[in-house]
Structure 1
């Protein structure tokens, strides 16, 4: 473990030096496995936030009060510690830097999209990506300044955003970002992913172009 940061009260950012690592694709994930002294093991998957060109692998973990792995990573891990990781994994929810895409995230579901934005920035192709993030408050959203600098739209459900009142994601929020020919990626909790995908289909987005990644307490 090279670096540990806690950007919000409920998240921890881990930057790992992974020996002999294979460059990941934006949207892939790593599995982190913990082994207790009695041999009990628990593992969870975490999306990569770093771009492939970053010499370190960056993971962003949301602390869940009943999470066996997330509480250890958030409360115990410090620089210099060693973790058992496996990856990069996943081939469905990846962006290879070539096609235009609409990215829709709920809260910390933004993490794989951070990797996509960083990849696009390295390639000089930020115009290919449009990102909307729904979060409870700005203070709870990691990477918020970086996201907005790259043109992301950040909506809040518990506080007003400019002239937009607090509220959940709606179809009209998505309309300005959609263009024919885009691939669509949706990442967030199961309820958010389901609601966002239904909104997109209701607006006429072909269901076959929507890729979903859901997360929950069990990872």
Structure 2
């Protein structure tokens, strides 16, 4: 095991390649899969870290992809939520082919910039499947009895397309939908008016989503007065990791 020491002095663990057995599998949304992995000789992760999944073909060709962890550090299994991308070599296999009992090659946990320490206030802003690392943070906060430290805003096309929608709502997340109204709020993009009520002194802001969403949300936060140094951004897309 190696470690990455953060500027705050917090240490983020880093694990090497391991074999993981698929202990459970659900497909709660179209074009997606929730995987529960029993990682052999697992190194405990921090909320906000991710894993790499690597596939190897019979001819030796390999493809790999990074996925944020949705499970809390105290969960005995590692939970990944995978969106099936068009022409996605890894996501297509995970969403359509993998079954319980299969073995996968994984590496993790990885990352130290985007982790939440479980002790400081945070504002979490996500678009679509960008909610996944925040679900890990919410679950960790719940385990610690400190949900009061987190304020959450998420944006999705529709509620039916939002991963972990019920869990996010139960945690008090502000849910903004761009293709349908929600309550008295009409359909529309996330705005500063949605975020200002969630602001508290001393917060670190975490933003996760597609590159266009991440850039727009970051600009909203800085425009509200958030110091840029206190905004941590994680982007994802068909060709990149978290």
1:69 to 90, 96, 103: 90
Distance 2:42 2:136 in 1: 17
2:182 to 161, 168, 171: 161
Q: Which runs of 5+ in 2 are unaligned?
A: 1-21
Distance 1:108 1:178 in 2: 23
Which secondary structure state, in structure 2, belongs to the residue aligned with residue 105 of structure 1? strand
Distance 1:145 1:188 in 2: 19
Distance 1:130 1:10 in 2: 28
- Is 2:224 aligned against 1:203? yes
The equivalent residue for 1:105 is 126
| RMSD value, Cα | 0.6
2:204 to 161, 177, 183: 183
The equivalent residue for 2:54 is 33
Deviation of residue 63 (structure 1)?
0.6
Distance 1:69 1:218 in 2: 11
Deviation of residue 180 (structure 1)?
2.0
TM-score, length basis structure 2: 0.90
- The residue correspondences of 1:50-199 to structure 2 (distance < 5 A) are 50-199=71-220
Which secondary structure state, in structure 2, belongs to the residue aligned with residue 17 of structure 1? strand
Distance 1:135 1:25 in 2: 25
Q: Kindly provide the CA deviation profile for residues 8-59 of structure 1, in whole angstroms up to 9, marking residues without a partner as x.
A: 0021000000011011000000000000111110000000000011111000
1:48 to 69, 82, 85: 69
TM-score, length basis structure 1: 0.99
Q: Kindly provide the CA deviation profile for residues 83-116 of structure 1, in whole angstroms up to 9, marking residues without a partner as x.
A: 0000000000000101000000000000000000
Distance 1:22 1:96 in 2: 17
Which secondary structure state, in structure 2, belongs to the residue aligned with residue 83 of structure 1? strand
Distance 1:49 1:110 in 2: 9
Deviation of residue 161 (structure 1)?
1.0
Distance 2:98 2:176 in 1: 32
* Matched residues, number: 219
* Aligned 8 A contact 1:67 1:218 in 2: no
Q: Kindly provide the CA deviation profile for residues 138-194 of structure 1, in whole angstroms up to 9, marking residues without a partner as x.
A: 000111111111111111000001111101111111111011210000000000000
Runs of 4+ off more than 4 Å = none
Q: Counting strand residues as a fraction of each chain, which structure ranks higher?
A: 2
* Aligned 8 A contact 1:49 1:60 in 2: yes
Distance 1:101 1:88 in 2: 21
Distance 1:151 1:168 in 2: 19
Q: Which runs of 5+ in 1 are unaligned?
A: none
